[in-house]
Amino acid sequence: MEDPSRQPIYWVLRDEGRTIAGVARKVPVSSQQLKNAVHGRTPPSPLLRARLPEILGRPLEALFTDEALKTQYLGQFGRNPSRPSRSGL
């Protein structure tokens, strides 16, 4: 079953044989930060929005859904308002 929260960038990376770790090094961000954006857990950070189109040679709109691009990035320790916290608080 396909994960509906995966962003289009997931398929771009897979089709081009790229790894999250390899692309994260080029941005540069942590692999975890890129993985969270790829799997729709957090919206892409301003740095990801700027660098990924350059690195992958595709427009930002081809890498992330409109919903992900509309959501404000709250920083490394912020909470993504579209996802509940695990603690239930």
pLDDT digits (tens, 9 = 90+) for 13-24: 999 999 999 999
Instruction: Render 22-34 in DSSP notation, one character per residue.
Output: HHHHHTT--HHHH
pTM: 0.78
- Considering the domain delimited by 8-70, tell me its CATH architecture: Orthogonal Bundle (1.10)
Q: Tokens for 62, please give them.
A: 């081809």
pLDDT digits (tens, 9 = 90+) for 41-69: 999 999 999 999 999 999 999 999 999 89
Q: Is the model's pLDDT at 87 over the cut of 80?
A: no
Q: Tokens for 10, please give them.
A: 């997931």
Domain positions in the chain are 8-70
Mean of pLDDT over the chain: 85
Cis peptide before 28 (omega within 30 of 0): yes
